Structure 1
Amino acid sequence: PGAHVIGGVSNVSFSFRGNNRVREAIHSAFLYHAIDHGMDMGIVNPTQLEVYDDIPEDLLERVE
């Protein structure tokens, strides 16, 4: 109680540098679930975020 969680989201997908499609999907899926579980703020580039519901099902299954 009383603790806040903030993090740099791009760190989650660092090993996928150069594969922007996968990285953007990972960021969106991570934020979707992290916020649902109490993350207060993610440090992100909003121009590189995909809408969670727009991620193709096969890609979403792999990144989750």
Structure 2
Amino acid sequence: MKKNFLWKNIIIGKIDKNHPQSETIDESIDEINNTVDEISKEVEEIFTSFGKMTNDIDDKH
């Protein structure tokens, strides 16, 4: 029942920007988006590095 109440407040907060939880929800979403951006950058760096390593191996053979 507590989860349903929480989700109801989240939904109301997203619909009604004047709802008290609206700001908290926006902050949480911003944090999630920032984390996703950081993870994406790390993954991109890993693939770039991996691509360079495979190119170096191919060049040596």
Category of TM-score, reference length = shorter chain: 0.3 to 0.5
Rg comparison, structure with higher value:
2
Report the TM-score, using the length of structure 1 for normalisation.
0.33
RCO higher in structure (CA 8 A, sep ≥6): 1
Bigger share in strand? 1
TM-score norm. by structure 2 comes to 0.35
